[in-house]
A = this chain, B = another copy of it.
């Protein structure tokens, strides 16, 4: 067991210099070989997972479901590796280039971040997914998964590392922290000399804990208290379709809708129509006084806490507003800066909403559910950043890179 986390960091740093220089074709070949190796060793993976599952007996069914691997899920992991192999490699791309006053040729070139730490819960698929994205973007990765999935994670990492070794690539490009104690995790989050960034993936609780404890720069992902605002001038059916999709298509995810705001002029007409459609999904409605006047007193009164809450469930809180200004002020106060939508046919108000809402993604006449790396066409996603530094919104391969200025001169000195 490696408990010397500094040693782990040193190895990762060393590996990072090697894999940061690998050609795209070589990386793609290795990713495809990893896909094959995962499938070929599926019985071993399932055996390790079985042991993890025995240890998880008695835990919540959701938890056990996420921990469980099957032949099919292993195939999906392999498919994911092949898809990452097909993505465009951002490394070496030049964002911009110019000649300065002294005649220097300056190019801003995409390079790997270096060493990325991922902290996640008991989901073995994250091990493969995160390793693939970090590897393709030329980064070494150190993975710290939940202790309940340790055996599965170690087996998966062993297979991936085996492929690296066979291809004469430093196998420490992918490392797992075997000691899942809190002490080691705390040490890991302070490893500023060897870790360039930490990305927590999982529940709001996990992410908050990492943000609070880490000294290494963190990219915060995931929290989504998303709103839909229905303007006075709007299409009723479009509003209902988008609300139903944003709330019910997959309520547990961060880009699902949690709050509905409606302009007072159309609330009495739209609300019963929308509520009727939500009934089919057994959505629990909560509302402010005006919404309850329309929908009836059986609708629970929404509390101040409701406006802050990300339900991740079939619950929707509704507020009737006097103006778009009130809607925008409410959203900017309570939102988590994730995704917000206006339904409107009015040009000025569409612009006002796009301009004034503070969020990673702002929509006109579309579902909040589109905030996603795959939907945006990135082909992959390591998470959705809700912070403003470095990356905001869906993070694909490019967000796992940084830049360096590459400058060519002919002997210039500074005057």
Chain A positions within 8 Å of B, measured between CB atoms, are 17, 21, 98, 100-102, 104, 106, 113-114, 192, 196-197, 211-212, 215, 217-219, 235, 238, 241-242, 244-246, 249, 332, 350, 354-356, 358-367, 369-371, 375-377, 387-390, 392-393, 402-414
Contact = CB atoms under 8 A, between A and B. Distances in A.
Contacts of A414: 245, 249, 367, 369-370, 375
A91 to B, nearest CB: 10
A197 B361 CA distance: 20
A377 B332 contact: no
Contact of A362 (B238, B249, B389, B407): B407
A395 to B, nearest CB: 12
Contacts of A393: 403-405
A370 B102 contact: yes
Main secondary structure of the interface of A (DSSP, over half): mixed
A255 to B, nearest CB: 9
Contact of A411 (B365, B404, B412): B365
A369 B102 CA distance: 12
Nearest to A385: B402
Contacts of A21: 355-356
Contact of A361 (B242, B246, B405, B413): B405
Given A370-B414, A377-B98, A404 B389 contact: no
A223 to B, nearest CB: 13
A411 B377 contact: no
Given A363-B409, A365-B410, A358 B241 contact: no
B404 A392 contact: yes
Query: How many monomers of this protein are in the complex?
Result: 2
A17 B241 contact: no
Contacts of A355: 21
Contacts of A367: 412-414
A33 to B, nearest CB: 25
30 contacts: A17-B358, A100-B376, A100-B377, A101-B375, A104-B363, A104-B370, A196-B388, A196-B389, A211-B215, A242-B411, A244-B413, A245-B413, A359-B404, A362-B405, A362-B406, A363-B407, A363-B409, A364-B409, A365-B408, A365-B410, A365-B411, A365-B412, A370-B409, A371-B405, A376-B405, A388-B402, A389-B402, A390-B390, A393-B403, A393-B405
Given A100-B370, A241-B411, 10 more contacts: A102-B375, A197-B388, A241-B413, A242-B413, A245-B413, A366-B409, A366-B411, A366-B412, A367-B412, A393-B403
A405 B407 CA distance: 31
Given A405-B360, A411-B235, A114 B365 contact: no
Contact of A408 (B242, B364, B389): B364
Contacts of A101: 375, 377
Nearest to A107: B354
Contacts of A407: 361-364, 366, 370
A30 to B, nearest CB: 20
A105 to B, nearest CB: 9
Given A366-B407, A414-B375, A392 B388 contact: no
A354 B409 CA distance: 12
A370 B17 CA distance: 26
